[in-house]
A and B are shown apart, each in its own frame.
Chain A
């Protein structure tokens, strides 16, 4: 516990070094990957942002939500509407998407967090179904079953992020910033409030944390992350269809984070990358893929409920224990 609460230097800390290394390594990907694989990478990184929202909710705050793909859709549709109907600039649209989704999630949080644990989780399944219904039927805003097409790419002043490589750099930059912000959140008082609620809500309440407000804040942060992911997705694909923002996608986010491990954002990254790339490399097995996921996730929960990162951490802990044991013997 001591180690976790120690205040290290954020910029020169181990986390930051790991993060920078991964990002720099990632920046070389366009040199080796085909345009198609780059698109896969882009979508994986957008998924990573949504998975981070699950990380905030589940990993930090202990709340299991299945509505994240819905918020992702809300972000995407807000961006598309701001761009096409209100003729706002790309940056402004993106900011509105993030803020709008966060606000929306915050307000919904107040209603949904009146329900606790299982009840909340089930309610978010309902919310997700409602979202999908809205995306499919609300013609004025979401284009109904036809979707919205012709969304222009992201642009800063006159520079357009129109080809796959530039989009990749935009997305990886956003992913970097977001992951960095996660660390700040983790170390902040708000992050500790989240974790207090995760560990024991009643005790957290006794210490003067307002559970409803704090959980709604977590929901809002999750919403903001999904909103960012949605905005980037709108810029990336240029076309939005209700078929993307489904309940299955939400389940996928949960599988990704449980596979990687809920203890830190790197776990989310590992899980997202494994699942996204797996989908590409086992195309021949496409028909059985979902079944394999289903059975795989059950096995994973039985064998290693903490995910890959949790497994590595346990191994590392054992190794350290043995080392100290040997030292004390000597």
Chain B
């Protein structure tokens, strides 16, 4: 077992988990798949770059500020590309999200330029365990992502706001009858989703360079994670993301580095053949 690969795979995987979690939160809340989630990752990374490199703030503060900015982006995204279309066909929502994804991609290019950039590591240096050399950044990613996940769990399960959001996700009409402002609740879901994905972008940036097209590939991988984990399940998204990250790291090292994405989709199809509802999913009967 290669410990080095295990750690790097696990840390990239947990970032896919963050994207996948963001997608699942939105999916559970409003029943649409967000095609621009990968762009949130890219945007979060760029915000982090802006605070960290252009304004010279420490990386910890940059991450927090970037995630707050992403919250606003999430709300704006929801208000412009989901809310006006909430009664439209799913086709229209998909296309509108595609439009938003293009706009975000190009917006990032126009604001921050097309040259790949990077940000500071959350933690410099390496740790030696036996023969393996592990970057501290990988450990930092795992720790921070884990903290974010715990925070989201507490927010959703233990607080009043979380209850409001869950109620809206279950039945919007009923929630509005009990006096919940549905638009605020959905806006908050989008904001939280964008925030956790944005933090992922800031954490990923030191490992891979940031560019404005990174979102599409990351989004496709996160999607694979969701399907592997089981649709609509948050633990499933987390486990799926980690599986995707590990497959990518080990497959890249031992099988072929050019066809990493192919490998991920092979795993996806194996999972779908053996367990069509995903690892954590429940079998849902199609409704007429």
A in complex with B: yes
Prevailing SS type, chain A contact patch? helix
Q: Residues 1-37 of chain B: 1 if any A CB is under 8 Å from the residue's CB, otherwise 0?
A: 0000000000000000000000000000000110100
Chain A residue at minimum C-beta to C-beta distance from B38: A125
Does A302 lie within 8 Å of B84, measured CB to CB?
yes
Complex: how many Å from CA A130 to CA B33? 21
Known: A137-B258, A294-B106, A301-B88. A122 touches B220 (CB 8 A): yes
| Dominant SS among interface residues on chain B | helix
Contact, CB under 8 Å: B91 / A58? yes
Q: Judge whether B220 and A297 touch: CB under 8 Å.
A: no
Contact yes or no, A301 B85, CB < 8 A: yes
Distance between Cα atoms of A256 and B269 in the complex (Å): 31
Contact of A294 among B93, B99, B223, B286 (CB under 8 A): B99
Residues of B within 8 A of A288 (CB): 106, 110
Residues in A whose Cβ lies below 8 Å from that of B35? 121-122
Whether a CB of chain A sits under 8 angstroms from the CB of B276 is yes
Binary contact readout B268-288 vs A (1 if CB under 8 angstroms, 0 otherwise): 110010001000000000101
A294-B103, A295-B103, A298-B81 known; A64-B92 Cβ under 8 A: no
Tell me whether B89 is interfacial, beta carbon within 8 Å.
yes
On chain A, the number of residues with a Cβ less than 8 Å from chain B's Cβ atoms is 40
How many residue pairs link A and B with beta carbons under 8 A? The number is 120
Kindly identify, within residues 41 to 99 of chain B, every residue whose CB is under 8 Å from any CB belonging to chain A.
80-81, 84-85, 88-96, 98-99
Is B99 within 8 A of A129, CB to CB?
A: no
Give CA–CA (A272, B89) in the complex, Å: 23
Q: Does A117 contact B (CB under 8 A)?
A: yes
**A218 smallest CB distance to B (angstroms):** 15
Q: Is A14 in contact with chain B by the CB < 8 A criterion?
A: no
Instruction: For B258, give the chain A residue with the smallest CB separation.
Output: A137
Size class of the B contact interface (CB-based, 8 Å): 35 or more
On whether the beta carbons of B100 and A64 are closer than 8 Å, the reply is: no
Query: Is A293's beta carbon under 8 Å from chain B?
Result: yes
Flag if A125 contacts B33 (CB, 8 Å). Answer: no
CB distance from A198 to the nearest CB of B (A): 10
Residues of B within 8 A of A301 (CB): 85, 88, 92-93, 95-96, 99
Contact status B101-A118, CB under 8 Å: no
Residue A194 lies at the interface, judged by CB distance under 8 Å to chain B: no
Confirm or deny: B224 has a beta carbon within 8 angstroms of a beta carbon on chain A.
yes
What are 14 A-B contacts defined by CB distance under 8 Å? A114-B276, A117-B90, A122-B227, A123-B223, A125-B223, A126-B224, A137-B259, A258-B95, A290-B105, A294-B100, A297-B98, A298-B80, A298-B96, A305-B92
**B residues in contact (CB < 8 Å) with A:** 32-33, 35, 80-81, 84-85, 88-96, 98-107, 110, 216-217, 219-220, 223-224, 227, 231, 258-259, 261-262, 264-265, 268-269, 272, 276, 286, 288
